[in-house]
Every structure is written in structure tokens, then in C-alpha cells.
Amino acid sequence: MKYIEPHGHMVSRTTDDYQKMAMAGCEAICEPAFWAGYDRASVDGFYDYFSQLTEYEPARAAKFGIAHFCWLCINPKESEDAGFAREVLSLIPEFIDKPSVLGIGEIGLNKNTKNELAIFEEHVDIAKRYDQPILIHTPHLEDKLKGTKLIIDALKNANVDPSRVVIDHVEEHTAGLVLDEGFWAGMTLYPESKCTPARAIDILENYGMENIWMNSACDWGISDPLAVAKTALEMGKRKYDKQTIERIVYENPKRFLEQCPNFKI
């Protein structure tokens, strides 16, 4: 079955992962800018990273027949140093018109600090200035509910169109909050944290099939680049028909991403 991986960090994956995803039916991968596993020491490091996202990874994915797109930002973990973060933000206009760029992301909060929130708001301002969609990271574990509320309040204050924002890493206690406010919700499928396939399907059954997608967010840690395909199989075991499964793993992300002029598959 064809599907879209709407959030995968392929710079941290091998070419074998691309091959397996292609064989599983993946037609497009969307890669948000994220933490590299360490705090980068210079703005030049981010320049090279944005070049990798916009030039090298699309070429690597194309070898396997997969379209590769990306989002640009400085991630929340590295935005505590506001001065450094603003230097990185100044690079974004140089890359925003690259043909594979979808918008601004994954921005958001990590520890819900004042500096993180300030840089989040400045990212949102860039997205508004350049008319870009937004992909948002919500904090982990005990910080998630508070961080999600702070993010939603900031977006409301900025008068952002919620239909052009996907708030990712939702769980049972935040999915309803996000969807009720008109935002899109992303469910991240991790083997050891966030949502298992069973939990993700439970969330779908509780909150509906509208404005929601699933992603693997595969990265340097314990994660599975085939998580979306495996969850589609799990939906089949629960007797969902092919049309409903394809709606979640393909049509829903396609509908959101087509708001980005560069998204074409």
C-alpha cells in the first residue's frame, strides 16, 4: 500500500532504510530540521545542515524513487541560546525558496523555557512573513501538556491559520486539545516511547480520522522507519478496510502537505 512518511529524519538513517521504505510503498518523505544528537557549535554548521537537507537528501531519496522534502528551523533543544538561535534564523530566507522546502519546522518547545518560547514566536513570524505552513514539536512526557497549551496560546496570539499548522507528537491527553482548536495533529510511532501502533489506532478511534496523520520520526535513537507501514498492517488486523487505511497513511498527509506549493508527488 502506498503511504507518505510525513516526519522522518533521514540524515540519521542508512541507504538500506530508503530501500526498505521504497519496497513498503513509501512515495514521499518529509524531513523536519532537528537536533543532530549534539548542540552545533557554529552557524556554519546549520548552513551545511540546511544544504544537506535541500540538496543531498533529495538526491539520495530519488535513487529509490522516493520524493524528499524538508522543513527549516533551529530546533527547540538548541534555541535556549537566543542570540545564537537568531543567527541561525537569519539563514532561513536564503533557503526558503529551494524547490523541496515545505515550510518552517519542527519548531516548538523542549523544556518550556522563556527563551524557547521567544524563538518559537520568531519562527512563527518568519512563517507568516513568507506565507509558510508550520510543523511543531511538542515536549516529552510530563512537559507535553503544559508545552502544548503554551504553543497553542502563542499561535492564537499570532493569528496563525490553524489549518496550516500540524502539531506533532500528540498523545491521548493532547490529541483532543489540538484537534478541537482546528490544528492538524501528528502521532509519532516509537517502539519505546510516544505511541505504539495499538495506541495510535486507539487515538484514531477516540478522536476520529480527520486532520490527523501518523509518522515514524525515525532518527538517531531507537526508532523504526517502517513504523507507518507496520501500523497500516495493524489497522488491517482490526478489520479497517483498505480505503480507510489509505486515508490515514496517504490521503491525510497529502491533503495537508499540498498546502505547500512545493509538495508534488
Residue 36: CATH number of its domain: 3.20.20.140
Are the C-beta atoms of 33 and 100 separated by less than 8 Å?
no
Distances (CA, A) of 13 to 103, 109, 113, 170, 205: 22, 24, 30, 24, 32
CA dihedral of residues 97, 100, 103, 105 (deg, nearest 10):
-130
pLDDT value of residue 142: 84
Report if residue 171 sits inside a domain: yes
Report if residue 62 sits inside a domain: yes
In this predicted structure, the answer to whether residue 244 has a pLDDT above a threshold of 90 is yes
Report if residue 125 sits inside a domain: yes
In this predicted structure, the answer to whether residue 82 has a pLDDT above a threshold of 90 is yes
pLDDT value of residue 33: 98
Q: What's the pLDDT tens digit per position in 201-217?
A: 999 999 999 999 999 99
Contacting residues for 99 by C-beta, under 8 A, at least 6 apart: 262
Average pLDDT over residues 3-31: 98
Which residue reads 518559537 in cell numbers? 120
C-alpha–C-alpha distance, residues 254 and 85, integer Å? 31
Report if residue 173 sits inside a domain: yes
Does the global pTM surpass 0.95?
Answer: yes
The model's confidence at residue 85, banded by pLDDT at 50, 70 and 90, is very high
C-alpha–C-alpha distance, residues 29 and 44, integer Å? 25
- The boundaries of the domain holding residue 71 are 3-257
Q: Identify the three-state secondary structure at position 160.
A: coil
- How many structural domains compose the chain? 1
Are the C-beta atoms of 226 and 21 separated by less than 8 Å?
yes
Averaged confidence pLDDT in the chain: 97
Report if residue 265 sits inside a domain: no
Cell numbers that stand for 156 in this block = 492564537
pLDDT value of residue 194: 84
pLDDT value of residue 141: 83
pLDDT value of residue 247: 98
The two beta strands, 184-188 and 212-215, are parallel
Residues facing 167 on adjacent strands: 136, 185
Q: What's the pLDDT tens digit per position in 179-238?
A: 999 999 999 999 877 899 999 999 999 999 999 999 999 999 999 999 999 999 999 999
Report if residue 264 sits inside a domain: no
- Taking Cα atoms as reference points, which of 112, 122, 125, 180 lies closest to residue 151? 112
Report if residue 232 sits inside a domain: yes
pLDDT value of residue 256: 98
pLDDT value of residue 192: 78
Are the C-beta atoms of 234 and 108 separated by less than 8 Å?
no
C-alpha 246, offset from chain centre? 19
pLDDT value of residue 193: 78
The model's confidence at residue 115, banded by pLDDT at 50, 70 and 90, is very high
Report if residue 263 sits inside a domain: no
pLDDT value of residue 119: 98
